[in-house]
Structure 1
């Protein structure tokens, strides 16, 4: 059987958390636990491998994120823009910034959103060891509100050997959502072990959403799945965290969650299309 004989699933999903890493990113020592758990090599995947993984997992569009941390740029926004330019029908850009330089951060966000069509901004709290209510984030939030793009972040414990406390939803995100009622926030990685806090925040704040990146469907916590079936159906988005986990693995067990057709379609694509204003 050759590759043209392989039947791939329809590209019905939007992956809201993915990276196209470089060797600099893959060399980070804090990746050791994730690579060990997944049995992954240190080599960065080629763009062709990312597209093939998307096809195998039924992903039509992936949101590729830049990465910026205290040690500097890990995946630059220029590198993300180049990937989007190489496959504009498959990728959208997510901007990353240095929260310690607020003026430059705001300028960078404006440039990427207004001139290059980036659809969101992501800052990972555990990488900075700064919870999201730290004052250094606030100019970023203002820029997101003014430009009408979501702020994406990580919630829950960390896989890397870094403190998990910055990913705790309450009180940190609670304060942010109170201070910025217009800010659209997408919390990545489900939020375990604070799932009850995640659901309570989503109930309290209409602009707070959650993505399931870094989880296969069959590993999602039961209270989270129950929420997805009902009141949370318009608040949960599909994500993979590629290349740490492939989209096809993230969809394993999806049919066993008891989601109806509407909830499944909202989860895989419509929620992301609405929240990130995708065509």
Structure 2
């Protein structure tokens, strides 16, 4: 089994955002105004991905992919897709109520907030009610670490001190840092090693671009702490998994990386 820990099935509202222009240049990808869910499933099939975690996107510009839309996508392919919630962090109590609804009524398995969208690092006070609710609901908090591909400031993606302080304040919170953390990969590895509930996912990077430090971590004491991800549709599963053999992982490490860690962290059956 292969589980993709970071995907999104985009709406037209999301694809029209100006800050995606840099990613279009990097990937050479152009997307139709509306993307059928079947295209996402076909991309998963093309790369051998069995289950994909697709996220809602809430931003200062508005709701780009709503929790209800994600639930609708999942309903079309319930054996292949799992929903991840998002919320408007500027309204903390409304955000807590929406997260609670998304998990309890819509079946979402995690919360994802992308700090560069809001210009707020993850130790900002507006996130803290959400962290407490994630602990109460028993779900992970997923976030982006490292520089931003889109045309926004990279500063909120620094693992230290921002995510370090969150892990200290909420030792019961499971945190998944997506996008490796480059150019602060060593900092992200340090946090994942330091805290039992902090993990890394490899979304937004193809295997031949994994930093050497991450590959060494995957092969050794970090084998239970790294999850495979693509950041689809910006990188296809087929492209993201190409060259898997160059990681030189033993059977246990490869199984944990491709699915075991994600199934444990997100409570997937």
TM-score category, normalised to shorter length: over 0.9
Alignment of 1:1-279 (within 5 A): 12-43=1-32, 44-279=34-269
Shift of 1:157: 0.4
Shift of 1:258: 1.3
Measure the CA separation in 1 of the matches of 2:100 and 2:264.
21
Shift of 1:103: 1.0
Measure the CA separation in 1 of the matches of 2:186 and 2:111.
26
CA contact (8 A) 1:216 1:252 kept: yes
Measure the CA separation in 2 of the matches of 1:199 and 1:112.
31
Q: Could you list the structure 1 runs, at least 4 aligned residues long, displaced by more than 3 angstroms after superposition.
A: none
Q: Deviations over 1:202-255 (max 9, x none)?
A: 111010000000111111000110000001100000111110010111111111
Measure the CA separation in 2 of the matches of 1:66 and 1:124.
11
Query: What secondary structure sits across from 1:209 in the alignment?
Result: strand
Measure the CA separation in 2 of the matches of 1:167 and 1:222.
20
Measure the CA separation in 1 of the matches of 2:161 and 2:236.
32
Measure the CA separation in 2 of the matches of 1:195 and 1:214.
13
Measure the CA separation in 2 of the matches of 1:87 and 1:258.
33
Gaps of 5+ in 2: none
Measure the CA separation in 2 of the matches of 1:86 and 1:46.
11
Measure the CA separation in 2 of the matches of 1:206 and 1:17.
21
Task: Give the alignment's Cα RMSD to 1 decimal.
Answer: 0.7
Measure the CA separation in 1 of the matches of 2:260 and 2:140.
15
Measure the CA separation in 2 of the matches of 1:42 and 1:117.
28
TM-score (normalizing by structure 2): 0.98
Gaps of 5+ in 1: 1-11
